[in-house]
Amino acid sequence: MSVAVVTIAHGRHAHLRAQHASLAAGTARPDHYVLVAMDDPDLAAVELDGLRRHVVHLAAEPLGLPLARARNAGVRRALAAGADVVVLLDVDCVAGPGLVAAYAEAARRVPDAVWSGPVTYLPPPPPEGYDLDGLASLDAPHAARPDPGPGGTLLDTDPRLFWSLSFALTAEAWERSGGFCEDYVGYGGEDTDFGETVVQRGLRHAVTGDARAYHQWHPVSAPPVEHLDDVLRNGATFAARWGRWPMEGWLTAFEERGLVERTPTGWARTGAGTRSS
């Protein structure tokens, strides 16, 4: 089976290099590596050796980075290159040595599933960077996501726990899913929407414990106040499509800070604080 890895990025050039190095050192290399550069023309010049690379350029939209559209564009390029299985890996993630092989095998065995793998959030790197050969010693997957352990699988997992950091599916499953809804622009909502769409289209969610990934550290804000307007806009889009609001944890945290309030139809900005760009 021909396997492609798709990653979307804006900046994070050092993280991209580490991801590429991890994939090139895996037990099975992807046949194609598709990089979607969102409003980052310099990304194509980042030196990456060892994988067959395809670069897709997308401009930013007025409301923000087109994450959903970028994933769809990346998968289209992967399928055009002949991929039977597509792995979507967040640019911040480095792959465990068996990730590509594990996803390919899982997709072969259960082709009507969207397969995910456990993701460990790494601590800040030492000055010389992460030791890719030593990531297993740091393995501690996010506790809120399912992890059957190495060698294990879980079938028919909760679609609400789908996470776009690391997942894979066959070309046929992708076409059946219809891809990501491009009504979402900027931060949040599009992966939760995809998780629900998968089930609506008659596909399954599953987890393989052998497709382990490691999220490289970077500064974050919690709650992500710089994405407040994105969360509200994309949350309203999700509510219109599915009848409920996603990202309730973030919204509640915003509410506690006086930034948003509940309304008869969901949530709205209070006007407090500085409007995000």
The answer to whether domain 3-215 has CATH 3.90.550.10 is yes
Of residues 118, 153, 130, 167, the one with CA closest to residue 5: 167
Q: Could you tell me the two tokens for 20?
A: 């590429």
* 3-class SS of residue 236: helix
Q: What residue segments make up the domains of the chain, in order of their start? A: 3-215, 225-269
d(CA 117, CA 56): 25
> Over the stretch 241-260, which tens digit does the pLDDT of each residue have?
999 999 999 999 999 999 99
44-66 pLDDT tens trace: 889 888 899 999 999 999 999 99
Q: Give me 212's structure tokens.
A: 């382990």
Phi and psi angles of residue 64, each rounded to the nearest 5 degrees, phi first: 145, -165
Is residue 222 within 8 Å of residue 253, measured between CB atoms?
yes
What pLDDT does residue 275 have? 53
Give the length of the chain: 277
Q: What's the pLDDT tens digit per position in 219-232?
A: 988 899 999 999 99
Residue 215: its H or E element: strand 213-215
Please report, as a single letter, which amino acid is at residue 164.
Answer: S
Question: Could you give the C-alpha distances from 36 to 44, 65, 104, in angstroms and in order?
Answer: 9, 12, 22
pLDDT tens, 121-163?
999 999 988 999 999 999 999 988 999 999 999 999 999 999 9
User: Residue 273 pLDDT more than 60?
Assistant: no
Q: What is the pLDDT of residue 276?
A: 44
The mean pLDDT value of the chain amounts to 95
**Cα angle 154-196-111, degrees, rounded to a multiple of 5:** 45
Please report which confidence band the pLDDT of residue 271 belongs to, taking 50, 70 and 90 as the band edges: confident
Q: What pLDDT is recorded for position 220?
A: 87
55-113 residue pLDDT tens: 999 999 999 999 999 999 999 999 999 999 999 999 999 999 999 999 999 999 999 99
SS3 85: strand
Residue from 154, 162, 6, 26 nearest 91 by CA: 6
How many CB atoms sit inside 10 A of residue 79's CB? 17
DSSP assignment of 7-28 equals EEESS-HHHHHHHHHHHHTSSS
* pLDDT over 90 (residue 195): yes
Looking at the predicted structure, is the pLDDT value of residue 274 above 80?
A: no
